[in-house]
Amino acid sequence: MSIRKSSRLYPRTTNWIGASALGAALLAGTAIPSLADEALADLVETVSPSVVTIVAVQDAAPVPAQGQEFDFEGHPFGEFFKRFGGPEGFKMPDRGPSQGLGSGFVLDEDGYIVTNHHVVDNASTITVRLSDDRSFEAEIVGTDPLTDIAVLKIDAGEALQPVKLGDSDVIRVGEDVVAIGNPFGLNATVTTGIVSAKGRNISEGPYAEFIQTDAAINKGNSGGPLFNMEGEVVGVNSAIYSPSGGSVGLGFAVTSNIVDHITADLRDDGQVSRGWLGVSIQNVSPELAAAMGIDTATGALVSDIVSGSPADGVLQQGDVILTFNDETVDSSSDLPILVGTTKVGTDSVITVLRNGQEEQLELTIGQHQAASAEADVTVDDKVAGTSLGVTVAPLTETARAEMGVGENVDGVVVTGLKPDSPAAKAGLQRGDVIVKLGELETVTPDDLKAALESEKTDPALVLINRGGNQIFVAVEIA
């Protein structure tokens, strides 16, 4: 068996070395370090003290009360017990506290730390371990699930070494980047790669934009920084695409410009205030462009307007939004980020194409109303632990407008999925609207619970609406 060593290629650097010194080095078999290698080592040495380890502990799961069914997840005979029931007198052992590891970085010298929302979600205690192995209990300043960003605060008793947030808009595809984090608990691990793509949307919601990189990112890297070669953070490592669970060179980092906006908002009052237009939008396809007499298929096509919203009376159905506050809108995915990062109450200028003519319109950005009354839909019946593994919320008018769901569609919005849950395995995503489960309509979270409780078919047929399109999926309820 042979092992192939990999090497990185860096731009050729002119390095004037005296001929005699070069000859002596070659005769002695001494390796000559490249300037690029030295620059990378210097960068890592400079920024590594700012990278931290996040230890998030969740409390022990409570023992089910008398008459409730046990959760057999993780038990050696769990699948058998789910199908046929536990033996008479069986008592499920207490499940102890669980611990998760992630990464983060120092935002400023006062002890503010940035990481991922999913790293600290539902944690009872959070510990931040610095690069010198000192540990401090952290408090959550605020989190934003829609961009997967969280801000923590520790009191280290002295000024910490912060990193600088760079401008993710100016980074180019092909540039070198460096990821530092704690994959599998191996702290201060450094991996390198390039920017593989920009502006990626990986179905994490309308407000998150990602840099794709081939730098190795694995479990435990979440929340860690992605650096450019100037030592600036251009992204927060948040997700990977992997059939196996390990790195296959498809990593995704939330852009630093979004992180800058979100962290500033969270530090202000612990919440994120998002701007709102109140429109349903879609991409301009080549076919739509031809039908509308548009030369290029760019912009965001307004398909619906929420009554009483900032856009009501200003924008019209059929308008194609070309720019927002002088920022180009190339596709419909650009607009929510531009509007969402605009301060509420800001007077904004929108350029639209209306009836073949460009017009400039003015309106005042409103306050985004988040979906409320979330309900965790995990129903246990008397035969087996039956669950979807999703968190849902009512379908509000705001949510309709943002997700392009028509007034004729009723259902509940998926706001979260448990890893490896039946819903996640079936391909459901945050933002999907569950319309029916089996033969029952799911207008409210309680409807979904009732439908799941009464469903006898496995897999269950679930009708969802995704971005205005109706799709059937088969979910193996467990």
**Is 222 noted as a catalytic residue in this protein?**
yes
H helix intervals, 3-132: 19-28, 35-47, 78-84, 117-120
Alpha-carbon distance of 92 to 98, in angstroms, equals 17
* Catalytic choice (117, 118, 261, 368): 118
d(CA 264, CA 168): 16
Residue 392 contacts residue 448 (beta carbons within 8 Å): yes
Between CA 57 and CA 456 the distance in angstroms is 36
Note whether 412 and 394 are within 8 A (CB): yes
Catalytic choice (50, 103, 117, 148):
148
Structure token pair of residue 286: 């080549």
- How many Å apart are CA 457 and CA 423, to the nearest integer? 15
118 is catalytic: yes
Please report where in the chains the tokens 């009354």 appear, as a residue.
373
Question: What's the longest Cα–Cα distance across the chain?
Answer: 86
Contact 295, 318 (CB under 8 A): no
Decide: helix, strand or coil at residue 102.
strand
- Catalytic one among 168, 222, 309, 421? 222
Which amino acid, residue 149?
Answer: I
Reply yes or no on whether 148 is catalytic.
Answer: yes
The closest of 105, 229, 104, 251 to 170, measured between CA atoms, is 229
Contact 355, 368 (CB under 8 A): no
Active site residues: 118, 148, 222
